[in-house]
Structure 1
């Protein structure tokens, strides 16, 4: 079989994660440096369809005539299969065995495996090579083969369905981000895919830090702040104004932005490689500590001009000209009780 005769099947290609542009460039440089394609491309014999080696074939297709004279085309390895379903499962199993896959890419492939198994008609348990009970659920069968829990398999299937939904509604260009970008976790992908189709792109852009704040209940003001943080916020030399208070809040906005990212990582822990130790009680303790830390720090944020000195700085505001939430509430309560503002 000639390399030019190999066919590309779009359904099979989607199961093989594409390299990013810089990764593809490095692959090309390594092949040219080595003077050969070390690994063969693998083809379904009866159909002539490529099932592994899409990136290598892409590199070969982009080579110049001079480079092709020095470097031979990738070797072709032919494999027999009974059906498209068998090819589908072989590709997934082959990809899952690779160490360079992102956790979300692995979850997506497990979900694809789950979808394929659910579509297949019932097969007798005594089929050659099939040692699993026909009474086992699809998630249990796949869990047995992948070393995961059935619950995790079900979550992977949800994630896969969500990715496919967003790719269909937003566009194929988002798939690589959904499967590799750290800005968006699997739980967030599922949440966005559950929204009406006309809201998904805007919410996806917000999750990726590219959109505008949402007026809906999913909007967390701490993720967006209100004004850009100044380079080095300092206490002004003169009287403190509302503008100065906003400048003084910049470190807290940055803190909340980082803590939001930490929260997403914590929420994704049960679905990651360390998920085995993340039982409900432990996760509740972690989130409790997280909430206490965030609340403690935010209560120290300056929120108003000091009512004791009207921004001129005094010992009650620790010479900052502004009060944090606790001190501001204490001042307001004292004022309401006496009916007058404490003198400077």
Structure 2
């Protein structure tokens, strides 16, 4: 009888309908983090991370993590068509939940390739309200550099439009600022990932102008700088023209007239420091 009973249990279990809950739990155990996408995540200061950790421990992880559902072959060349789940938003929350074995929710999104994912992540970060001046400049620069070379338009067609002019109008800054942002993003890419995050946290002594100059240099490869000490300019560094100085002065005057937030004030101070380096 015991044998018949167990046989009946197995038969009944095999006929149970598919459980979405079980599928979600399986996916959460297979989440992958790509180093290639880390630069598109806004870094937190130690204080901000501590506050987030405390909130999650006290209230749970309320906001779902965003996951790209794709195949391993799409993410890792020469791999299989097996499903892959790549984390694209919620890295800090995921780390905290893993550390304390806490549950979390997920949202699955589909993209045709990793370039489209990067564009999505840049747009998502630019839509945040709490970006510091360095982060805002960096993500604007990333978008400018990517659109300038025609990569991953993320459903945007520029139709021959001047990208810097288009973005300047969208973000209400000058075209010069957008182009400087592009060099700033290139400059940050020269550092190793850990130092990139430090620069974006806004706690380093390096000026934005210096990082922009690093972005213009071809003698420094991406991801090779292991120190945040000032790098002496190359012999061929270009000296700003009178016209460029005039543009910088006008931009400072515009910022001073339109001050409306702490972020505007921080940006104004940064622009004044940059101008002093050129005089």
Deviation at 1:90, TM superposition (A): 1.3
Aligned: 1:176 with 2:201: no
How many Å apart are 1:182 and its aligned residue?
Answer: 5.5
Q: Deviations over 1:268-325 (max 9, x none)?
A: 99489937769xxxx9xx89xx9xxxxxxxxxxxxxxxxxxxxxxxxxxxxxxxxxxx
Conserved 8 A contact 1:103-1:272: no
Aligned position for 1:42: 66
Match of 1:60 among 97, 111, 116: 97
Answer yes or no: is 1:142 the counterpart of 2:167: yes
Kindly indicate whether structure 1 or structure 2 has the higher relative contact order, using CA contacts under 8 Å at least 6 residues apart. 2
* Equivalences for residues 323-334 of structure 1 within 5 A: none
RMSD, aligned CA: 4.0
Distance 1:201 1:3 in 2: 35
Gaps of 5+ in 1: 208-213, 218-266, 291-344
2:229 aligned counterpart, secondary structure: helix
CA displacement at 1:188 relative to structure 2? 2.2
Alignment of 1:108-123 (within 5 A): 108-120=138-150
C-alpha separation between the residues in 1 aligned to 2:52 and 2:249?
31
Structure 1 or 2, whichever has the larger Rg, is: 1
Quick one: distance in 2 between partners of 1:152 and 1:269? 12
CA displacement at 1:33 relative to structure 2? 1.0
Could you state the TM-score of these two structures normalised by the residue count of structure 1?
A: 0.50
Query: CA 1:82–1:157 in 2, change beyond 3 Å: closer, same or farther?
Result: same
Q: Distance in 1 between matches of 2:254 and 2:194?
A: 27
Provide the rounded CA distance (Å) in 1 between the counterparts of 2:91 and 2:254. 28
State the match for 2:123 in structure 1: 93
Flag the 1:22–1:118 CA change in 2: closer, same or farther, 3 A: same
Task: Give the alignment partner of residue 51 of structure 2, picking from 26, 44, 48.
Answer: 26
Paired residues in the alignment total 208
Q: Distance between the aligned counterparts of 1:61 and 1:271, measured in 2?
A: 46
| Counterpart secondary structure, 2:40 | coil
